Structure 1
Amino acid sequence: MTNNTEKEKIAGLIRNARLSKGYSQQQLADLAQLNLRSVQRIEKAEVLPRAYNLNLLAKQLDLDLDALGFSNDLQKATLLNSAPVGRQAGKTGKLIFSVTTGLLTFLLTAAFLSQSSDFPETSFELFLLLAFVVALYGAMLWRIWKR
């Protein structure tokens, strides 16, 4: 169970720091790359922010993590190094998607080659097709993994 006084303490610190900087909630949300509703819920003490979100807000508001009650070095390290859950799970998802897409690309290319009686006429055409498929797959992987 979450401690209400902790939520209220953090809510007050975030709200006061935001107001002293002259930011609206929307401006703070944009700067921290958070949803406006998340900032609103944090400032109303409806939720205890995740470590990652709290770190983003603290950076934008120039807040010292000690002022937020994170005086323990282990807590600070966890707060600074934590990634959102979606990004941690995202690597696994990207890997599964990459392997699945590679296998699917291989099978579709093989199906195309097996159904065509007159393609490829030469080994050059075969290598050209394979080069195109590899380049397309590489570009797709680059787009998936650059995020």
Structure 2
Amino acid sequence: MKQPELGIKLAALRKAKGLTQEELVDLCNISVRTIQRIETGEVMPRSYTVKTILAALGAEFEELALEDTTAHPLAEDAEAVQREERKEGGLPASLLSQLNLAVVFGVVYFILGFVEAAADMARFDGEMVFGEWGYILLKLVVLVSFLCFQQGFVVLGQCYNNYLLKAAAMLLMAASVVLLGYDVVSLFFASAAREAVLMGAAITYGVIGIVYAVALMRLQGVLGRAALFAGLFELVAASFFLTVVFAPIGLLVQAPAELLEILLLFKAIGLMKAQSGFLELA
């Protein structure tokens, strides 16, 4: 299907759902100007852009039976269109590799999280089950796993113009680096302020967690209920962290949240690969 028929069809689907262009933007994270230009036939979008819009509208890609993806005569030159659509979710191979690594490291982080919790509890009781250097090594591996895992959400934020998610993931990464640094330093230098630091960390993770949760839920239009439930679990966990007293419960709630986030990354990879496949066939 060529323009302007494609734009007319997409506009009709949007109106049939009772959505304004601004409401559609919230669901698919594509700029309102781009949606306007597609609907008016000014540009011929690539198939992955159409797929994202259709997913938000609850329609199937095949329904449109795309016959040609060449630019409309009124469109900008092909290079300009490509630059604009790359901002809306085009995925270079390097970013796809980062998402694949994020899934792997997410699983590693999830498993090591239980080991880390046991080591921290033993340390709190005055025991070092792995010794000081074993504890430090464990912390470093956990940190690297977490950073690589969260990098996946930085990529998702970049691909779907969800800058809130990108910022929240980066803040979580920074907070984790600071906390690990304190954990390691405190092994060699006694600190009477450890409880205060842990309280501050719980509040920090709580505040960032709320932002992170909202950002995840904003992906619901593209990635479905997995994004919604991941966000809800993060929101509950963050709320417990903010109380400080019930922070341990927040850690328990984080476990299913992390599993859902791994699923979310896996689903995003599948969707992006499918979109790439449609692009090659178009």
The alignment's TM-score, normalised by the length of structure 1, stands at 0.55
Instruction: Return the offset for 1:93.
Output: 5.0
Aligned AA for 1:125? E
Partners of 2:57 and 2:137 in 1: CA distance: 52
SS of 2:2's partner is helix
Partner residue in 1 for 2:144? 137
Partners of 1:137 and 1:89 in 2: CA distance: 19
Change (3 A) 1:8 1:132: same
Matched, 1:124 2:153: no
Instruction: Return the offset for 1:40.
Output: 1.1
Which residues of 2 match residues 7-86 of structure 1 at below 5 A?
Answer: 7-63=3-59, 65=61, 67-70=63-66, 84-86=89-91
Partners of 2:39 and 2:144 in 1: CA distance: 45
- Count of residue pairs brought into register by the alignment: 104
The answer on whether the counterparts of 2:98 and 2:151 sit within 8 Å (CA) in structure 1 is no
Query: Identity over the aligned pairs, expressed in percent?
Result: 23
Instruction: Return the offset for 1:87.
Output: 5.9
Partners of 1:91 and 1:66 in 2: CA distance: 24
Larger Rg: 1
User: Gapped runs of 5+ residues in structure 2?
Assistant: 68-88, 102-129, 153-261, 266-282
Partners of 1:34 and 1:10 in 2: CA distance: 17
SS of 1:6's partner is coil
Matched, 1:92 2:97: yes
Partners of 2:60 and 2:98 in 1: CA distance: 35
Aligned AA for 1:92? S
Deviations 1:103-141, CA, capped at 9 Å, x for gaps: xxxxxxxxxxxxxxxxxxxx9332222222122112212
